[in-house]
Amino acid sequence: MNYQVIIPAAGSGKRMGAGYNKLLMNLAGRPIILHTLDVFEKDSSCSRIILVIHSDDDSFFAEIQSHYTKIHIVYGGSERQYSVYNGLKAAETEGIILVHDGARPFIRPETISHLVQSASECGAAIAAVPVKDTIKKVIDFEVIETVDRSSLWQVQTPQAFRFSVLQSAHEQAQKEQFLGTDEASLVEKNGHVVKIVESDYDNIKLTTPEDLYFAEAIINKRNQKYGL
Ligand code: CTP
Ligand code: MG
């Protein structure tokens, strides 16, 4: 089943501390964002990539656009949610739409197809992995409670939706001036069920400098495994 994807890439990468958009940093010889874009460019079920960028990165993205066939560029906003909303306005208004962080280059094609399938059945499906650590609720450095881990999942992207589900959730959030940390939280708030698709622990978001070491390790592991 075909789908389109919005890739927010308009952040400033403050926590990475490079002094410029982290997605332009090199990972195994290529900018991080190209690793992410390649996954969707190669997926024959992906009909359109809506890449959301900051105007500061115009010239970089203008150059790379000519190497891809599916990319449609739009400008982002001051918050990730606004960037995704701008992307949504440039999308085809039907079918399945995914939102995937530019900063997650290790998403597996199998996870994408499971998400598309699940969203087509239920309207909303998100990638996640079970929480591995013991999690405690803490106030002022004092433990209040040990949370039951069996019901905790660490949420990632992609998050997949029927177009109308994502659009109405975003419009409602806009009206209420609600800012969520992911798309699913807007959809949940709108009263829609959201399904989990189990992803894997490689699908990290490159956020702080040490994530780059983990990223190199994942690339080395994959190269060995697949002999690439
Ligand atoms: N993003 C975006 N528009 C924003 C903020 C973030 O498109 N206004 C994108 C980022 O480029 C990234 C994804 O959303 O691909 C996830 O955000 P995050 O990892 O937080 O990236 P940054 O916002 O760039 O990093 P930081 O929060 O450390 O500044
Ligand atoms: Mg951010």
Q: Is the CB of 154 under 6 A from ligand 1?
A: no
215 and 202 in contact (C-beta within 8 Å)?
no
What number of other Cβ atoms are within 10 A of residue 199's Cβ? 26
Distance 9 CA to ligand 2 centre (A): 10
Distance 207 CA to ligand 2 centre (A): 8
What is the reported pLDDT for 53? 98
What is the reported pLDDT for 226? 56
Whole-complex ipTM: 0.99
Is the N-terminal amide bond of 8 cis, ω within 30° of 0?
Answer: no
Q: Which of 44-58, 71-85, 214-228 has the lowest mean pLDDT?
A: 214-228
Task: For residues 120-134, give the mean pLDDT.
Answer: 97
Residue 4 reports pLDDT greater than 60: yes
What is the reported pLDDT for 76? 98
Q: Is the CB of 47 under 6 A from ligand 1?
A: no
Using DSSP's 3-state secondary structure scheme, residue 138 falls into strand
- What's the whole-number average pLDDT of the chain? 96
What long-range pairs does 65-73 form, CB within 8 A, spacing at least 24? Answer: 68/37, 68/41, 69/41, 70/40, 70/41, 70/46, 71/37, 71/41, 72/48
Distance 105 CA to ligand 2 centre (A): 16
Residue 34 reports pLDDT greater than 70: yes
Task: For residues 183-200, give the mean pLDDT.
Answer: 97
Q: Is the CB of 11 under 6 A from ligand 1?
A: yes
What is the reported pLDDT for 2? 98
Residue 204 reports pLDDT greater than 80: yes
Task: For residues 170-184, give the mean pLDDT.
Answer: 97
The single residue listed with the structure tokens 């975003």 is 170
Distance 11 CA to ligand 1 centre (A): 4
Residues bordering ligand 2, an ion, CB closer than 5 Å: 11
CA 105/CA 72 separation, integer angstroms = 19
What is the reported pLDDT for 33? 98
SS (H, E, C) 154-207: EEEEEEEEEHHHHHHHHHHHHHHCCCCCCHHHHHHHCCCCCEEEECCCCCCCCC
Domains and their CATH numbers in the chain: 3-226 (3.90.550.10)
Residue 227 reports pLDDT greater than 70: no
What number of other Cβ atoms are within 10 A of residue 102's Cβ? 26
pLDDT tens per residue, range 144-176 = 999 999 999 999 999 999 999 999 999 999 999
Q: Is the CB of 79 under 6 A from ligand 1?
A: yes
CA 124/CA 194 separation, integer angstroms = 5
Chain-centroid distance of CA 29 in Å reads 22
What is the reported pLDDT for 225? 65
Give the residue whose CA is nearest to atom 16 of ligand 1. 101
* Ligand (nearest to CA of 182): 1
Q: Is the CB of 52 under 6 A from ligand 1?
A: yes
What is the reported pLDDT for 100? 98
Distance 66 CA to ligand 1 centre (A): 24
Specify the amino acid at residue 164.
Answer: S
What is the reported pLDDT for 175? 97
Using DSSP's 3-state secondary structure scheme, residue 126 falls into strand
Q: What percent of the chain has pLDDT over 70?
A: 98
Task: For residues 12-37, give the mean pLDDT.
Answer: 97
